[in-house]
Amino acid sequence: MSYLSLQNLRKDYGGKIFAVDDVSLAIEKGEFVTFLGPSGSGKTTTLMMIAGFEQPTSGHIALAGRAIDPVPPHKRNIGVVFQNYALFPHMSVARNVGFPLRMRGVPKAEIAARVARLLAIVELGAFADAEPRRLSGGQQQRVALARALVFEPDVLLLDEPLGALDKNLREQMQIEIRRIHRELGVTTIYVTHDQTEAMTMSDRIVVFNGGKVEQVDAPLALYRRPNTPFVAGFVGDNNVLDATHAGGGRIELPGVGPIAAALPSDCPTGPLKIALRPESIRLAAGSDAPAFTVQGIVNYGDSVVLVGALGTVPLKIRLPAVAASNLTVGQILRIEWSPDAVHVIGTAR
Amino acid sequence: MTPTKSTPHRPDRLALILLAPLLVFLVVFFLVPLGEVMWMSITEPSFGFGHYGKVLLDPHYRRVVLDTLGTSLMVTTVCVLLAYPLAYVTAQIGGTIGAVLLMLVAMSFWTSFLVRTYAWMIILGNRGPVSELLKATGWDPPPLMLFTRFSSTVALTHILLPIMVMALYAVMRKIDLNIMKAAASLGATPFSAFRNIYFPLSAPGIVSGSTIVFVLCIGFYVTPVLIGSPREQMISGMIGAQIEEFLAFGEASAMAMVLLVVTVAILAVYHRFFGLDKLWG
Ligand SMILES: Nc1ncnc2c1ncn2[C@@H]1O[C@H](COP(=O)(O)OP(=O)(O)OP(=O)(O)O)[C@@H](O)[C@H]1O
Ligand SMILES: [Mg+2]
């Protein structure tokens, strides 16, 4: 059995839909798992149920083989880092970090040593006596992290811990959090709605949508083989298209005709959805390739996104900047892609 | 002179013009009478600081001062004990129920304290509900409650309680709920989270609420005079009696000055440690 397991968790706040709807997850010891999903998809609610601040309407949570449903938050031994840090404003940095140890009756000398060690890990040794509000956002976040780790929790929960930081500091802290995770090996659940953050940090990503789990996978697998149209559209940029499989490995787009696609053997026949990454589409040399009408050009500096249509099907293409010079709106381009680039949503490849 | 040079002066002049009516009002109706009181305290009926000596040293006056401070301390303490749980619950639940609770507190606050004083006269009177209740339970004859220090303490507590609730609520409302969750996740039992986190963070509300209530209490006139003990007067009542009954303007003025100094001293101490701007949350 896995280390942390959520079984059919459901939370009903009395809204139109369940805030969390039948979520089951198995998380291994030492794993770094990210909850990714749009606003209101139930990430925080799931996290709060794991921490014990919210009672599931139904379902169970087990930690290290033990049901923790009736255990109150202060006895769960789960560290939580909140988006707004939630440091105790009337205590120094060292007293903040020492708080969980004092609550556990750890001897004074040991508290001092463990606090010093954790402050060294988050590189805040020089700020032990500072008041929290005198620290910068990134520093406060690291104090919160040290405080949530010093008592060696079984699980560490982070709810959008970098949401309030600017981009450079975010990237720095992402690296920092990964390093600390490697050093201490604590099982970590990280909540974010930033898909780049999820991709770069996680061992596995859990994609939430409308209270349900859409897919659980390693970042690259999630990127390459989205299981649902939602995941295909949410993780990275994508073209999610309606298509038909007439059988025999031939895929047709309505109004366009057959397209190049290498289908997996388990591909069902009939209507299906396919995903085609904008960056996997190239300009074609020949004149018999599909025709794409440019309707809009968005320049990103290093790359250019062309918004347009393949016949009647709306399509996005991302080209390297060098390949996209002197293109104009209204132009008709010939495009191509490798047959492998087409992913049939819901299949294994 | 360029426009840019003159602009920095304009806000000052404007502020002065806007403040002028208030300043005139304060000077005419506050500072001048205050000066007069001060003047009377050393000239009435003849020049000298004798009144101050008497007010500060005479055992009778000292009694009044001590009674006043004692009653005020009692009222403040009871206010804290009653207001803290109420403000806590109100700040915790919030929403509609919280708003209703706060409305009830505010309603009692907006009711004239004269009305509330008379209400207590009826409640605590010899034939009032409390007496009857005590009689019914076998306490016959019931104890005399009206015109005692007990009745003035009860009424003053009731009158000043809303102020304490508001002062506490203003501070408690700002306490981040995530901080309490963080404390729990770090292993604090609900009680130790309250003791180590919530209480220290709400303490500024206790200090400012107590300061306001105490300062209002030592100067309170109507309630102690109407339903307090005639033998254990409070300073304001004593000042009134000196003027109305004995026409002793000098002594009354000296007492008023002492009251003023004590009040200002309390506020000055508060300002020294916390800053007066924080007094109202
Ligand atoms: N205390 C609550 N009472 C009622 N409804 C709630 C409560 N907390 C959350 N919800 C609802 O539950 C749903 C899920 O909310 P949740 O906070 O878990 O989303 P989230 O994925 O964390 O979103 P975000 O990225 O915006 O933080 C939302 O529709 C929200 O409105
Ligand atoms: Mg959230």
DSSP character string of A214-236: EEEE-HHHHHHS-SSHHHHHHSS
Query: CB of A238 closer than 6 A to ligand 1?
Result: no
More confident residue, A346 or A338: A338
A152 contacts chain B (CB < 8 A)? no
Query: CB of A132 closer than 6 A to ligand 1?
Result: no
* Contact between chains at A77 and B189 (C-beta distance less than 8 A): no
pLDDT band at A168 (very low <50, low <70, confident <90, very high): confident
> Three-state SS across chain B?
CCHHHHCCHHHHHHHHHHHHHHHHHHHHHHHHHHHHHHHHHHHCCCCCCHHHHHHHHCHHHHHHHHHHHHHHHHHHHHHHHHHHHHHHHHHHHCHHHHHHHHHHHHHHHHCCHHHHHHHHHHHHCCCCHHHHHHHHCCCCCCCCCCCCHHHHHHHHHHHHHHHHHHHHHHHHCCCCHHHHHHHHHCCCCHHHHHHHHHHHHHHHHHHHHHHHHHHHHHCCCHHHHHHCCCCCCCHHHHHHHHHHHHCCHHHHHHHHHHHHHHHHHHHHHHHHHCCHHHCCC
pLDDT in tens, B240-254: 988 888 888 998 999
CATH code of the domain made up of A4-229: 3.40.50.300
* Contact between chains at B186 and A72 (C-beta distance less than 8 A): no
Query: CB of A114 closer than 6 A to ligand 1?
Result: no
* Distance, CA of B229 to CA of B252 (rounded, Å): 20
**pLDDT, average across residues A183-191:** 94
Contacts of A6 (CB under 8 A, 6+ apart): A23, A24, A25, A26, A46, A50, A59, A60, A61
Residue A43 has pLDDT above 90, yes or no: yes
* Distance, CA of A205 to CA of A32 (rounded, Å): 9
How confident is the model at residue A12, as a pLDDT? 95
**pLDDT, average across residues A65-73:** 94
pLDDT band at B1 (very low <50, low <70, confident <90, very high): very low
How confident is the model at residue B2, as a pLDDT? 44
Two structure tokens written together for A197: 């953050």
| Residue nearest ligand 1's atom 29 by CA | A40
How confident is the model at residue A9, as a pLDDT? 96
Two structure tokens written together for B42: 């050393």
* Contact between chains at B186 and A103 (C-beta distance less than 8 A): yes
* Distance, CA of B87 to CA of B84 (rounded, Å): 5
Contacts of B267 (CB under 8 A, 6+ apart): B211, B215, B276
Sequence ranges of chain A with CATH classification 2.40.50.100: 237-347
How confident is the model at residue B11, as a pLDDT? 67
Domains defined for chain B, CATH in brackets: 50-278 (1.10.3720.10)
Distance from residue A160's CA to the centre of ligand 2 (Å): 7
> Residues of A with CB below 8 A from B190's CB?
74
Two structure tokens written together for B43: 């000239």
How confident is the model at residue B9, as a pLDDT? 56
**pLDDT, average across residues A33-52:** 95
How confident is the model at residue B5, as a pLDDT? 46
Burial (CB < 10 A; 0-12, 13-18, 19+), residue A41, is buried
Two structure tokens written together for B137: 């339970």
From A90's Cα to the closest Cα of chain B, the distance in A is 7
**pLDDT, average across residues B109-129:** 88
pLDDT in tens, B194-242: 999 999 999 999 999 999 999 999 999 988 888 888 888 899 999 998 8
Give the closest ligand to the alpha carbon of residue A57. Answer: 1
* Contact between chains at A82 and B192 (C-beta distance less than 8 A): no
Mutate to test the interface with B, among A88, A114, A133, A160 (most CBs of B within 10 A): A88
More confident residue, B203 or A348: B203
Average pLDDT over all residues of chain A: 91
Contacts of B157 (CB under 8 A, 6+ apart): B75, B78, B79, B82
Pairing of strands A303-310, A313-320: antiparallel
In this structure, CATH architecture of domain A237-347: Beta Barrel (2.40)
Strand partners of residue A189: A33, A157
Compute CA B103 distance to the chain's CA centroid, rounded to the nearest angstrom: 20
Two structure tokens written together for A110: 């040991």
Is A86 in contact with A25 (CB distance < 8 Å)?
no
How confident is the model at residue A112, as a pLDDT? 96
Average pLDDT over all residues of chain B: 89
A223 contacts chain B (CB < 8 A)? no
Strand partners of residue A11: A20
Size of interface A-B (CB pairs under 8 A): 64
pLDDT in tens, A280-325: 999 988 778 889 999 999 998 889 999 999 988 999 999 998 887 7
- What residue ranges in chain A does DSSP mark as E strands? 4-11, 20-27, 32-36, 58-63, 66-67, 78-81, 155-159, 187-192, 204-209, 212-217, 239-247, 250-253, 257-259, 270-276, 281-283, 291-299, 303-310, 313-320, 332-337, 343-344
B183 contacts chain A (CB < 8 A)? yes
Residue A54 has pLDDT above 90, yes or no: yes
**pLDDT, average across residues B111-140:** 89
Query: CB of A254 closer than 6 A to ligand 1?
Result: no
Query: CB of A53 closer than 6 A to ligand 1?
Result: no
With vertex at residue A85, the alpha carbon angle to CA B99 and CA A18, rounded to the nearest 5 degrees, is 60
* Distance, CA of A302 to CA of A318 (rounded, Å): 10
Nearest CB to B188: which of A74, A87, A148? A74
Residue B281 has pLDDT above 70, yes or no: no
Residue B156 has pLDDT above 90, yes or no: yes
The answer, as to whether pTM is greater than 0.80, is yes
Sequence ranges of chain A with CATH classification 3.40.50.300: 4-229
Two structure tokens written together for A95: 């007293």
Distance from residue A337's CA to the centre of ligand 2 (Å): 38
Among residues A148, A147, A145, the alpha carbon closest in space to that of A92 is found at A147
How confident is the model at residue A322, as a pLDDT? 83
Residue A62 has pLDDT above 90, yes or no: yes
Is A186 in contact with A153 (CB distance < 8 Å)?
yes
Is A267 in contact with A251 (CB distance < 8 Å)?
no
* Contact between chains at B181 and A103 (C-beta distance less than 8 A): no
What does chain B come to in residues? 281
* Distance, CA of B62 to CA of B59 (rounded, Å): 5
B4 contacts chain A (CB < 8 A)? no
How confident is the model at residue B4, as a pLDDT? 46
pLDDT band at A74 (very low <50, low <70, confident <90, very high): very high
Two structure tokens written together for B203: 């303490």
Two structure tokens written together for A209: 């949508």
pLDDT band at B6 (very low <50, low <70, confident <90, very high): very low
pLDDT band at B77 (very low <50, low <70, confident <90, very high): very high
